[in-house]
């Protein structure tokens, strides 16, 4: 179980997240959508405390951090429960693909190198990159680099994977290969929270969609409820003004 309780965040006195509480069950694939500036990425980053909320608490499994009394040990424990895939890969340019994937296994998990290499190669093989294990990121396409980022996130066996617009930095020709990898991980039962503007993908892969605006969850439901039968006028307005985001009515 993942739980946010009364999460609020302001920047320079401007509210970005407003008293958000929600729960996510194991195995759910939750997509967070909404207009630019709605607070989507800020909300996603609170799940692993990359963004420290002003108030509220975050719980993942048996790890909990409360903004009122933050302990470094609690934050480390919370972060050990999740992995994040960023927009811009964030790979070590001076390390090979294999080394990028094994880094956290060796440094954080303290695994023997042989065991870490074996696990990393298995994951790279599952996403079609075993033949790139010895390459450096500069020799990979954007899609391949993002897939390495996903492999790195998978390697630490997270309870939940967080995706922050994982295709926004990619050329169109590379988007589908990354989305296909995410889809396979989702089908395997991984709990996921995604921020994405790929609405066709969101509708296809999500078990639940949360539409937020001005730091407030406006509507929370199944993809059919959000895309086909939105209950809230603000949700309908969003899709009517952004028809390119609309998969189908």
68: closest CA among 3, 5, 2, 160?
Answer: 5
Q: Write out pLDDT tens, residues 137-192.
A: 999 999 999 999 999 999 999 999 999 998 887 888 788 889 999 999 998 999 99
Q: Write out pLDDT tens, residues 58-92.
A: 999 999 999 999 999 999 999 999 999 988 888 99
- The sign of the torsion formed by the CA atoms of 78, 82, 88, 93 equals positive
- Chain centroid to Cα 226, Å, comes to 20
Model pTM? 0.91
């Amino acid at each position: 179980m993942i739980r946010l309780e009364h999460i609020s965040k302001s920047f320079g006195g401007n509210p970005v997240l407003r008293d958000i509480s929600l729960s996510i069950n194991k195995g759910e694939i939750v997509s967070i959508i909404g207009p630019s500036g709605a607070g989507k990425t800020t909300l996603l980053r609170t799940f692993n405390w990359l963004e420290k909320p002003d108030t509220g608490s975050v719980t993942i499994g048996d790890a909990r951090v409360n903004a009122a009394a933050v302990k470094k040990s609690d934050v480390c424990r919370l972060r050990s429960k999740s992995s994040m895939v960023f927009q811009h890969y964030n790979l070590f340019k001076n390390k090979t693909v294999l080394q990028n994937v094994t880094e956290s296994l060796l440094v954080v998990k303290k695994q023997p190198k042989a065991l870490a290499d074996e696990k990393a190669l298995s994951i790279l093989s599952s996403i079609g990159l075993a033949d790139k294990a010895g390459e450096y990121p500069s020799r990979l396409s954007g899609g391949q680099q993002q897939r390495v980022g996903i492999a790195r996130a998978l390697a630490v066996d997270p309870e939940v994977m967080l995706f922050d617009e994982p295709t926004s930095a990619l050329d169109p020709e590379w988007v589908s290969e990354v989305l296909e990898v995410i889809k396979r991980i989702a089908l395997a039962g991984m709990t996921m929270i995604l921020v994405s503007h790929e609405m066709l993908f969101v509708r296809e892969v999500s078990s639940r969609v949360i539409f937020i605006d001005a730091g407030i969850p406006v509507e929370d439901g199944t993809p059919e409820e959000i895309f086909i039968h939105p209950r809230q006028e603000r949700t309908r307005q969003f899709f009517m003004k952004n028809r390119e985001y609309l998969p189908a009515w």
